[in-house]
């Protein structure tokens, strides 16, 4: 559509991941508002223009020119069942609120972003569980900690999902700690590498502590079912429902890894959801307790309030 303009360095989502606006060519594909690949049919350089930053209620922002076109809904439009209207940026300037509420609402993705399916070295739900409550240092046998026996069983099932026969088992170690044991690791007198350790090293997750974990790109830019499975594993371990008086229930997720918080945000948004994020500083927080002993917090906590589209289950 003519009249749209953003800086050449703006990031654009394509079926192969993020690219800069200035690198696109006619014939390339970008992700459209329906989540599907849309072919670029024309590129029209705009020259030098004033650029404005538009910030949304969830903290996400984008840069564009004052003629940039937006499809918006107003409270009045929604009450009357009217379709969205198209406005330029300058038409909304200084007119963003009415009666203490936001005047304009930008439609979300009407469907999950469609990326081509790629093979992954570790079952996606299992990866989500291990990123949440697993030990991925690979200095020893991979571990998992949980007081929920259903999650322990779910991890064991997921790890063996693609194997012709079950070869991975969660062996109880102490209280809530388990190790991911390779039952065929010494078959025939030969030592066979633990496939979970091999997968974690392939993904670059070996040696990562809780504050350093991340979702590998091959999972973030994959088919919707794979992205959702990873997200469900993460939410089943470090997420849960939160209710407040007078408000609907929402899903909240907490992590000490800033990168993992970014990745979870991207997963949710790619599925058509919304994330509001805040940071709970470690400094000044009342220490937690471990076996009755106070333990100080070493890392800030990144708290995500998540809203998923209807029909997208937050739990497996």
Least confident range from 52-61, 81-90, 145-154, 156-165: namely 156-165
The predicted pLDDT at position 1 comes to 46
Place of tokens 């303009």: 5
Task: Output Rg (C-alpha) for the chain, integer angstroms.
Answer: 23
Q: Kindly tell me the burial class for residue 27, based on how many C-beta atoms sit within 10 Å of its own C-beta (0-12, 13-18, 19 or more).
A: exposed
Tens of pLDDT, residues 193-222? 889 999 999 999 999 999 999 999 999 999
Tell me the two tokens of residue 38: 């849309």
Residue 83 has pLDDT above 90, yes or no: no
Domain at 124-307: CATH code: 3.10.28.10
Which is more confidently placed, 258 or 96?
258
Q: What is the pTM of this model?
A: 0.90
Tens of pLDDT, residues 113-141? 999 999 999 999 999 999 999 998 888 88
Least confident range from 57-66, 82-91, 236-245: namely 236-245
The predicted pLDDT at position 185 comes to 66
Which is more confidently placed, 108 or 4?
108
The predicted pLDDT at position 197 comes to 92
The predicted pLDDT at position 120 comes to 96
Q: Calculate mean pLDDT across residues 90-109.
A: 88
Percent of the chain with pLDDT over 90: 64
Residue 129 CA to residue 159 CA, distance in Å, equals 10
Q: Kindly tell me the burial class for residue 112, based on how many C-beta atoms sit within 10 Å of its own C-beta (0-12, 13-18, 19 or more).
A: buried
The predicted pLDDT at position 247 comes to 64
Which of 133, 141, 180, 174 minimizes the C-alpha distance to 159?
Answer: 180
Tell me the two tokens of residue 100: 């203490």
Residues 6+ apart with CB under 8 A from 19: 11, 12
Tens of pLDDT, residues 136-190? 888 888 999 999 999 999 999 999 987 777 788 999 998 899 999 988 766 554 5
The predicted pLDDT at position 82 comes to 87
Annotated domain spans of the chain: 11-102, 124-307
Residue pair 307/313 in contact (Cβ under 8 Å)? The answer is no
The predicted pLDDT at position 186 comes to 60
The predicted pLDDT at position 138 comes to 84
Residue 31 has pLDDT above 50, yes or no: yes
The DSSP code sequence of 191-253 is: ----HHHHHHHHTT-TT--GGG----HHHHTS-HHHHHHHHHHHHHHHEEEE--TTS--EEEE
């Amino acid at each position: 559509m003519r009249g749209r303009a953003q800086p050449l360095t703006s990031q654009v989502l394509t079926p192969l991941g993020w690219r800069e606006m200035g690198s696109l060519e006619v014939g390339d594909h970008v992700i459209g508002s329906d989540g599907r690949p849309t072919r670029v049919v024309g590129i029209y350089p705009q020259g030098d223009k004033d650029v404005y930053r538009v910030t949304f209620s969830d903290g996400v922002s984008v840069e564009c020119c004052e003629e940039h076109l937006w499809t918006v809904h107003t409270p009045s439009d929604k009450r009357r069942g009217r379709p969205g209207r198209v406005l330029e940026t300058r038409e909304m300037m200084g007119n963003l609120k009415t009666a203490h509420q936001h005047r304009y609402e930008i439609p979300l993705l009407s469907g999950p972003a469609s990326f081509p399916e790629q093979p992954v070295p570790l079952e996606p739900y299992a990866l989500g569980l291990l990123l949440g409550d697993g030990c991925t240092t690979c200095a020893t046998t991979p571990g998992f900690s949980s007081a929920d026996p259903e999650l322990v069983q779910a991890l064991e099932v997921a790890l063996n999902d693609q194997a012709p026969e079950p070869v991975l088992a969660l062996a109880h170690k102490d209280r809530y700690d388990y190790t991911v044991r390779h039952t065929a690791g010494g078959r025939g007198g030969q030592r066979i590498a633990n496939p979970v350790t091999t997968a974690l090293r392939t993904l670059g997750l070996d040696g990562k502590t809780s504050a350093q974990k991340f979702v590998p790109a091959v999972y973030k830019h994959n088919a919707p079912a794979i992205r959702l499975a990873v997200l469900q594993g993460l939410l089943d371990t470090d997420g849960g429902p939160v209710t407040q008086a007078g408000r609907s229930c929402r899903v909240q997720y907490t992590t000490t890894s800033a990168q993992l918080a970014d990745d979870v945000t991207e997963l949710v948004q790619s599925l058509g959801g919304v994330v509001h994020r805040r940071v709970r500083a470690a400094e000044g927080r009342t220490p937690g307790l471990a076996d009755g002993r106070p333990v100080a917090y070493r890392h800030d906590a990144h708290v995500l309030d998540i809203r998923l589209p209807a029909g997208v289950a937050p739990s497996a």
